[in-house]
Each structure stands twice: as structure tokens, then as C-alpha cells.
Structure 1
Amino acid sequence: MGRRSRTPTRKNYIEMSSYQKDPALSAHSKRVNYIAMGCLIFLGPIIVVCLWHTIVNLDGSALNMWKYWKTYNFEGVRKIWPMPSFYACKLIVFFAVFEALLQVYVPGERHIGIVSPTGNRPMYKKNGFTCCVITIFVYYFAYKEKHFNPAGVYDHLGEIYSALIVISMIVCCLVYLKGHTYPSSTDWGSCGNPLIDFYWGMELYPRIGRDFDLKLYFISRFGMMSWACLVISFVIKQWEQKGKVADSMFVSSVLQLAYIFKFFWWEGGYLNTLSMMHDRAGFYTIWGAMVWLPAVYSSPVLYLVQHPVQLGRWVSIYVFFAGLLCIYTQYSIDWQRQEFRETHAKARVWGINPVKIQAHYVTEKGEHKQTLLLASGWWGLARHVHYIFEIGSCFFWSIPALFTHTSPYFFLLFLTFFLVDRVERDDRRCKAKYMKFWDIYRKKVPNKIIPLIY
């Protein structure tokens, strides 16, 4: 952007940019949003149970599930719905308490988040990677010392998912009530519609006390950690049942664990993403993290428990390293932007000085703020180029299942649709925040995801 001849006044800034107060900001109409939110609240749990039933009890065949659905409709869902068990509830509560204690007592660096819409800067204790290592070590140690058999998680998986659905709904209601009665900061509010308030949430950064951030806990400590534990449980189940771990299971599970470790290693960067900056703690975030994330994300490995595929040495190597390359590239893209921000655009990008745009915006309090937008390197190719490698990572940990059935690819299809929709939502959010500066950025970086194509 060229140098301006004069500095805009405070009034000019307020006219140019503002945060969008509507938490349901979307690329769709309000009617479509209401229908989508209602359907997701109602159908989300059904999809999780049906996906589990398809993979475990119907040979992983989506066609068999379709035939069953045509025969019984919603009555068939009642027949296959597993009842929560004491074992499942005990396991979930123990895991939840264990992860909460780790978040509180494991030491970590202080991390200051991005300025919120009301001008707050949330503070976190960045100890996710250490917590992840401790969780995996304790989980495996309990197995080796015969205090707990992770293979039992697979055997009781339907009960666990059912219990998770019930517990997470209760948690969503409690957080909704907390937002109405005892908000943690000024980053809260109601849009006047109970459905939107419940789905999107009332608070941006709900906390217990001063330091225990609920959104970080449910997404990172509960959701991502439980995903890792499920993957390990499925591998152990195959080992105990088959006497070995198939190369397809090895490739898929290690790629997923590598992705999870990357997430925790890059935790500071995640805390500065649009997800943490704009997604409130409602059904979308909490139920999604507690149920959808571990249940759906781990589904390719769940499928491979009973459907091991022998890929062969070279196919396994190609798929494994292609997946690792996608995970590393995604990390490299995110780190490039994080380093750009931390050095205030002084770090070179791909060996040259970065192309940057100094964007201005105001908070809901009327405070003038400014930030830098990176428009070179990876971020000069497309505004969300990292989504290509996000989808690529998922593809390479799904493809070891090959193509006998489509159920191992449910998450890949969902992720692709979700990210394409998220691009539209993020663009509208950034437009509402940066106004004309976002238009300048879009002219410099016209493509959304795929360079020169989309």
C-alpha cells in the first residue's frame, strides 16, 4: 500500500472499520443459518452414533447404513443408540479432571492473546505440549502396568460416545447459563435469539476464576487430547486382536499423532487464530470439541481396527512422508505469519523483505488499534493457503484404508466442506473488522485457497 498523504482522524477510523457484533456472522442468510444451527444441534449426535455404528457393526459400509436407514428411519436410530454406562462416565470424568489438573498445575510460559473486540487481551498459560507428553506417557504407562487397558475403550466406544453426547449437552447448557448470569469479561453478550446464543455462545473467553480458560480447556485439553488417546486405543486394540499392527494402521495413526503433536507444539500460534479470536464458547465450540472432534477425526483409524490393509513397504513410505510433508508445510505456513507478527514485519520472508499492509480498526469501546497483514511468502499465494495442506494431511491419513468403503473418508469430506465455508465466514469477519484495508489486501492476494484457481 502506498504512503498516505495524511493520517486519518479517529472519526475516520471508526467510519472505516469496526468489529462485527453479531456472533453468527456468516456467508449465508439468517434463515439458512437458523435452519443449519437447528439441524446441527439435532443431527450432530445422530451422525456421530451412526458413523460409529456403520464402522463397527456394519462392516464400515455406508451402503449398509443407507439400507438400514431406509428401512427404519429415526426409529432405527433409537434401536442402535447405545446407553451410557458407568464405565463410560467414570472414564470421561477421570480424563476430564486429569486434563484440568494438568492445565492448572503444569508450568508454562505466559501467552498474551490478540486484542478482543472490546479491547481485552486474554492471557494464557502455554503448557499444551508438556501436557500432551504427560498424557500420552501416563496413558501408555497405565496400559503397560495393567492398571488400564485402552483396548476396552474400543469395546465400550458406543457407550462412551453416548455418554459424551449427554455430558457435553449439560456442559453447553451450564456455559450458556454462565454467560447470562456471570460473564468473565466484557467480551460477552446476547443477540436476543436463544438459538443463536446457545449455538454460538454468550462469551468469547469464559473462565473459572481468573486463569482457567474454558474454551482452551475444551478445545485443546479435552478435545485434542482425547483424539490422541482414542488413536492409541485403536492401535492397541488391533495389536491385541490381530497380534500385529498393519502398516496401514501405523501410517494413519502416526500421521494423526504427528498432527496432534504439531498442534500442541504450535499452541501459541493457535491462540492467535481467528477461531480463538472470534468463536464464542457455545454448542458449536464446546460440543464440537468434546464429541465431534475426537469421534469423527479418529474415524479413519477406527475403521482400520477391523479392516487392516497391507499397503506394502514403498506405498506406506510414500503415503507416510507425503502426509508428514503436508503437516510440516502447514506448520511452516502458520509459523511464517506468527514470526512476521512477533518481529513486527522485520523478519525476512523467503529471503526477501515481506510485503505488508498496515491495517487499522477500532474496538467496540472505540479504541483505535492497528495490525500488520502479511501479503507475501505463503500468504501471498492465497489468503488461506494453509487449508490445502490441512485437507492434504487428512487425505493421507485416510487413504491407507483404500477404497472398499467410503466411511473412512467421512471426515475428509466434512473437513473440505467446513473449510470452504469457513473461508467465506472469515472473509466477512475480516471485511467487517478492517474495511478498506481488507479490500487492499484482497487486491494483493486475490485467491482464497488455491493459488490462481480459487
Structure 2
Amino acid sequence: MTKELNPKTKEYSFFGPIGTGAITILTPVITYLLYYACPNSYDDGTCKLLQKPALGRLAGSDFWYSLFTLEAFAVYLAWYAFTVFAWAIIPAQWVRGTQLRDGSYKYYKMNALATLLMATGLAAGQILRAGPEGFTYFADNWIPLLTASLVMSIAQSVFCYVSSFTQGKLLALGGNTGNCVHDFFIGRELNPSIGSFDIKTFNELRPGLILWWILDISLACRQLATFGQLTDSMILVVAFHGWYVFDALYNESIILTQMDIVHDGFGYMLAFGDLTWVPFTYSLQARFLAYHPNILGPSGSAAIAALQLLGYYIFRTSNAEKNEFRNGKNPKNLQYMQTKRGTKLLTSGWWGTLRHPNYLGDLIMALAWSLPTGSLTPLTYFYPAYFTVLLIHRALRDDAHCREKYGDDWNAYVEKVPYCIFPYVF
């Protein structure tokens, strides 16, 4: 029975041990490099990823001196403990997830939005009490806080990998190759938990995503404290990021049907992505603007806001169509095709136009987040460039899962909906 539940993974992901090993090593380097390519200085406003000074800083003694401080490590641990404490004490509904391979179900506590509101209230209270200068700690201690999050992500990855060898664990279908490098990265166990505390879903939306919002607030305070004003570009970036975070946590239960939760194990890929990559790279535009102000003007601000609204509309309405249909509702009377396994695939609406329309909305919003920095530097456009690669790869992985799941029915569906993310392109 164990062999049936946990079959050996026959195919590698991300080009196998070489690819996963390289990503494991290079992603932290890139995160630090993004900081040192555009440090907290008031220069000519340019940032260059591969300029010699940036590489020199990353290899110099100043980097190693500032890499880690006990104070910042304690602050990060306190932050993580706060999110766990909030999860434990705030009353909330427990929502049932999708059925697992062994026929069981897991239940998840849905109070991430309340945690976000509590954190935002505490931040606002500190700013009202001490002024903007009183909430610049996160902006001013970027590197040691980044390091603390990296230590946490590695520690959780190791813990989950080692504990996955305990008897009775349900493993992820893609993380059981037997190669430690690959499986450590992908994640062996599907849902590592401590009692009712599910580590994967907790990290997906709480400590890293909310920290991204807190970092943005701190960076806005740094700009205000330094220059005496908040620029329209900074207001837009912080508003867009905050909008995304609040929306994700308001719709927290939606993640229970997403690929990360349903298919992937919890390993370094998700631990580092959730705890380090999201807060410390997604805030790149806000960090740039904190030290290099940019004035857009009313027309520029309105155009960028319109692009953000377009992206959000596509993202939210397409996700709403999918979730309503999965829950047995079809208020728009959308067309669908019946599959041999008994489930249905939408063939009209957003999902009859693209196989992943929500990704298109996500990418439009990603561009809107970078445009407030104008043409001052190409570095702030790293996020939409990276995100495009990520979502294309994710879409291909998801299509592969669906092809295995639905067989010939999926091929018939692809004939009806030939475009993946970009209409008439891909």
C-alpha cells in the first residue's frame, strides 16, 4: 500500500540534480546581488546589475561584516513568531482542502487576513507614535534581515526533508526520486505538519507575503524621512503591492486548489520562495524609489493605474470563474466539456480563451508595478522579466499534470483552447 501511495518519481524537474542544485545556490546570490547592484545611496539614480562595484560589494569585506547581526536575526524570529502566534490565537473558520491520494482531507485555518490587519495596525501605531523615522528599521537593515530569512528557509527545508523519511508520510509525486539534491529542492513530503499546523500553507501567505507589505511601508517611511515627501510613484507602488497582498489574503482559501498546495512538496523551492524571494525581491521597486524618487505627474499616474486595473480585472474575474465552477456554480452559463474521469473543463469565458488567463492578468500587474520607476534603471524590471519565465514554466508544468490526469480529453481541450497565456502568441 505504501508503494502505491508513494511511488518513485521517474522524471526529474528543473533539469534534475544539476538544475535544482544550481537554483539552490544561485537564487540567494541573485537576491543579494539585486541589493548591491542598487544600494541605498543617493547617486545619479542608475542601477546596474553586473556593474563592477556591485560585484565587488558582494565579494568585499563590507558584505560579510553586514551579512548577519544578532539583533536583525532576533527581529526576524520575533516577526515569524508573531505570525505563528496570530495563526494560533485569532479565531477563524477551518476549511477543508482537496482530497489527498490516501482518501483523506486536511483542514486549514483561514485567518491570514486578520494577521495582516493586525500587523498593519501595529505598524501604523508605531508610525503615529514615532513618525516615519520610527519605522525605517526594516529598510535600514535589509541585508541582515534577508540573511535571517534565508537561514529560516534553509532550516525549514532541512527539517522537512529529514522528517519526510518518517514512516507513514504522504510524499509528493514529484519529489521522490531518491536523489537528495533534487528532492531537497522540490520537497519530499506533500504536507509537512506539526499537529494541525500545516507548514506549507502557512508559509504560502503569511510570514513572507505580509513581510513584503511591511517592507514596502518601511521603505515609504524611509523616503518620507529622507526627502520630506512621498512621491506619486512610491504611492502607486506601495498601493499596488498592498492591493495584491490584501486581495490574496482576503481570498486565502483559493490557494487550496493551486498547484503549490495540491501537487508540490514543501522543500527549498517553496521555503526560500515564500520566506526570502517574495519579500526581498518583490519589493525591489519600492526600495529603488525610497532612495531615487521619481515624479510621474497626473497623466503618468493615471495611465499606470489603468494598466493595473486591467491586469487585476483579468486576474480576479478569471479566478472567480474557475472557483465558482469548481464549487458547482455556473452563474454565467459557461460552456464546458465532460471528461472521461467525470470532471469538467471550461471551454468558454476566460478559460475558453486561454488555458491560464489568470497568469496574463498577473503579468500585466507585474509590468504596472515596475513602470513607476520609469526609465531610471532597467533593474526594477527584473520582476516582470523573471515572473514571465516563472509563469511560463509553471503553465507548462500544470499542462503536463493535466495531460497525465485527463489523457486524450486534455488533447481535445487544447485543440479548443490552443493558447496558454498570451493570445495568438503562446
TM-score (structure 1 length as normaliser):
0.85
Secondary structure of the structure 1 residue equivalent to 2:225:
helix
Matched, 1:169 2:154: yes
Pair 22,221 (structure 1): closer, same or farther in 2 beyond 3 Å: same
Q: Which residue of 1 aligns with 2:216?
A: 231
| Contact 1:84/1:159, CA 8 A, preserved across alignment | yes
1: CA distance between counterparts of 2:271 and 2:405? 25
Alpha-carbon shift at residue 111 of structure 1 (Å): 1.5
| Contact 1:183/1:206, CA 8 A, preserved across alignment | no
Q: Which residue of 2 aligns with 1:125?
A: 109
Residue of 326, 331, 337 corresponding to 1:348: 331
Matched, 1:359 2:339: yes
Q: Which residue of 2 aligns with 1:55?
A: 38
Matched, 1:337 2:317: no
Q: Which residue of 1 aligns with 2:190?
A: 204
Alpha-carbon shift at residue 206 of structure 1 (Å): 1.0
Alpha-carbon shift at residue 262 of structure 1 (Å): 1.0
Matched, 1:417 2:389: yes
Task: Indicate the larger mover: 187-196 or 164-173.
Answer: 187-196
- Show the 5 A alignment for 1:144-183: 144-146=128-130, 149-181=134-166
Alpha-carbon shift at residue 121 of structure 1 (Å): 2.5
2: CA distance between counterparts of 1:54 and 1:23? 40
CA deviation digits over 1:102-124, x for unaligned, max 9? 11221222222222344333211
CA deviation digits over 1:394-414, x for unaligned, max 9? 111111001121111111111
Alpha-carbon shift at residue 191 of structure 1 (Å): 2.0
Residue of 301, 323, 332 corresponding to 1:316: 301
Q: Which residue of 2 aligns with 1:195?
A: 181
| Contact 1:202/1:280, CA 8 A, preserved across alignment | yes
Pair 194,186 (structure 1): closer, same or farther in 2 beyond 3 Å: closer
Alpha-carbon shift at residue 372 of structure 1 (Å): 2.4
Give the structure, 1 or 2, with the largest relative contact order (CA under 8 Å, sep 6 or more): 1
Residue of 376, 382, 390 corresponding to 2:354: 382
Residue of 94, 99, 103 corresponding to 1:110: 94
Matched, 1:292 2:272: no
Alpha-carbon shift at residue 64 of structure 1 (Å): 6.6
1: CA distance between counterparts of 2:138 and 2:369? 21
| Contact 1:103/1:221, CA 8 A, preserved across alignment | no
2: CA distance between counterparts of 1:428 and 1:187? 16
2: CA distance between counterparts of 1:383 and 1:420? 12
Q: How many residues align?
A: 417
User: What percent identity do the matched residue pairs reach?
Assistant: 27
| Contact 1:382/1:450, CA 8 A, preserved across alignment | yes
| Contact 2:33/2:49, CA 8 A, preserved across alignment | no
Pair 443,227 (structure 1): closer, same or farther in 2 beyond 3 Å: same
Alpha-carbon shift at residue 48 of structure 1 (Å): 0.7
Residue type at the aligned position of 1:359: T
Pair 348,154 (structure 1): closer, same or farther in 2 beyond 3 Å: same
Q: Which residue of 1 aligns with 2:380?
A: 408
Alpha-carbon shift at residue 77 of structure 1 (Å): 6.2
Residue of 18, 28, 48 corresponding to 1:35: 18
Residue type at the aligned position of 1:46: V
2: CA distance between counterparts of 1:302 and 1:322? 22
Pair 213,392 (structure 1): closer, same or farther in 2 beyond 3 Å: same
Secondary structure of the structure 1 residue equivalent to 2:343:
strand
2: CA distance between counterparts of 1:179 and 1:141? 42
Alpha-carbon shift at residue 385 of structure 1 (Å): 1.5
TM-score (structure 2 length as normaliser):
0.91
Alpha-carbon shift at residue 338 of structure 1 (Å): 0.3
1: CA distance between counterparts of 2:47 and 2:301? 26
Residue type at the aligned position of 2:367: F
CA deviation digits over 1:125-158, x for unaligned, max 9? 2222222212211222233234993201111111
| Contact 1:183/1:203, CA 8 A, preserved across alignment | no
2: CA distance between counterparts of 1:64 and 1:442? 39
| Contact 2:334/2:346, CA 8 A, preserved across alignment | yes
Residue type at the aligned position of 1:253: V
